[in-house]
Chain A
Amino acid sequence: MEFGEIVSVLLQGAVVTIEIVAMALPLAIIMAFSFGLIRLYASAPFKQIAIFYIEFFRGTSALIQLYWIYFVLPFFGITIDAMTAAVVALGLNIGAYGTEVVRGAIQSVPKGQFEASIALNFTATQRLWRIIMPQALVNMIPPFGNLAIELVKATSLVSLITIGDLTFKAKSLADTTLQVGEIFGVVLVLYFVMAQCLMFFIKRLEKRLSKGLGRGGIHS
């Protein structure tokens, strides 16, 4: 098979991979923030639910989670298409790790910031969103960047539930053409490029958010 053809087939797969990332990442962020805040501030029963979610999704294999959502849930009458299953499984999985990122970043904001905002009589909501969160967000960016790249790489699991992503295309091409060197070489490069693009945006975001904070991009 011509090298150009191989690249073109693999690029189709890469587009599917990017689609999954584009949908799972927002889901992961929503999960991370909502359960991160619940974990910190909600009453005990809600905290327990958050802890269960975090420990369950961190403590079991992402592949098995994917299988459950796609192959097992139909037995309970819940049938979802492969793409949705992929987005939900990966979003919830990465989101569980993100929850701890959100929690840690909020807790790492110095206590004095919280005290000053009480002394100035801000309400609890204002304290969180106007004082603590803008500072915590800067702390979250680097670990969130890691998780986003983890997500890109974890998408290769979805090839096991019939989705034609980059890994899936690569394997089927390799099975038929046996040109494993070229194929998996291109696959490596494509994953790497995707991760680098993601890092580029994350770095820019970090620069923007760290204005005045004297860390992150600004003084480097």
Chain B
Amino acid sequence: MSTPIIEFKNVKKCFGETVIFSDFNFKVEENEIVSIIGPSGSGKSTLLRILMTLEGIDGGYINIAGESLWHMLWQGQYVPANNKHLHKMRNHLGMVFQHFNLFPHMTVKRNITEAPMRVKGISREEAEASAERLLQLVGLADKADSYPNDLSGGQKQRVGIARALAMKPSILLLDEITSALDPELVDEVLDVIRNLVKEESFTMLLVTHEMYFAREISDRVCFFDKGAIVEEGKPEAIFTQPQEERTKAFLNAYLGQ
């Protein structure tokens, strides 16, 4: 087996007294789509936030494409990563947020072009051409010059996806991207992801409460509870024949079976 693109080894994470992960191990292979489901407060989002370097870890190691995320080699020893190392590692990752977090003072187009231009040094022409393609992909070509506050929630989230994709991350993190949306807007966002994975292969890690979507899109589903993976496997297996009691209870409550 090749090196996993994401690997958690004995990771520990606390918020003050609250222990989220005590000894967490987890792997994702390249081009694998993994859905994380589970009750709130189980550490699902924290997992993504640690990967995106929005939260630090209190122990253990995380490797991205074989290189340590939160540590770097210094004089033959692993020491906590500095900003430069984190900056380099973040190039692998892109994230779409539950609450979109679009930049309200920039047009849709600038939301998408700003980071490629300022961070990657791509020319304006190239960045704008790429933004146009991405807006086409998410079905918002006519909104390039709008401001985020003039868009619907579903449209905002599609811009959020385009903005993350513009940085060409090899790993895409989707943090409950439809949880803040009205029910009738959920599908327009999920359709974008469906089309995306049809056209290109992606490593994707998604935290979601859309069980049907998780079942349809994932290569693997992980059921999380209290900072640990209780059960994982092919979506069919998890959704039709869950083995663990906690998984069954969760799915029953969620799917109303």
The residues of A with any CB-CB pair to B shorter than 8 Å are 110, 112-113, 115-124, 126, 130-131, 134-135, 211-214
Check if B83 sits within 8 Å of A124, measured CB to CB.
Answer: yes
Q: Given A119-B95, A135-B105, A212-B104, check contact A130 B114 (CB 8 Å).
A: yes
**Cα distance A211–B147 in the bound complex, in angstroms:** 9
User: What is the minimal beta-carbon distance from B49 to any residue of chain A, in angstroms?
Assistant: 8
Which partner residue on chain B sits nearest A119 by CB separation? Answer: B95
Chain B contact residues, majority secondary structure: loop
Q: Which 9 A-B residue pairs are closest in the complex by CB-CB distance?
A: A212-B147, A116-B101, A120-B115, A112-B101, A214-B149, A119-B95, A121-B90, A134-B105, A121-B119
Which chain B residues border A130 with CB–CB below 8 Å? 114, 118
Interface of B toward A, CB cutoff 8 Å: 52-54, 83, 87, 90-91, 93-95, 97, 99-107, 114-115, 118-119, 147-149, 163-164, 167
- A212 & B105 in contact (Cβ 8 Å cutoff): yes
Give A212 to B106 CA distance when docked, in angstroms.
7
Q: Which residues of A contact B99 (CB under 8 A)?
A: 112
User: In the complex, what residues of B have CB within 8 A of residue A118's CB?
Assistant: 52-54, 90
Distance (whole angstroms) from the CB of A211 to the closest CB of chain B:
7
Given contacts A131-B103, A135-B103, 10 further A-B contacts (CB under 8 A): A113-B103, A115-B97, A117-B103, A118-B54, A119-B164, A120-B119, A121-B87, A124-B83, A212-B105, A213-B149
B97 touches A214 (CB 8 A): no
Which of B97, B106, B118 contacts A112 (CB under 8 A)? Answer: B97
Selected A-B contacts with CB under 8 Å, 14 pairs:
A116-B101, A120-B163, A120-B164, A121-B91, A122-B115, A124-B83, A126-B119, A130-B114, A130-B118, A135-B103, A212-B104, A212-B107, A213-B105, A213-B149
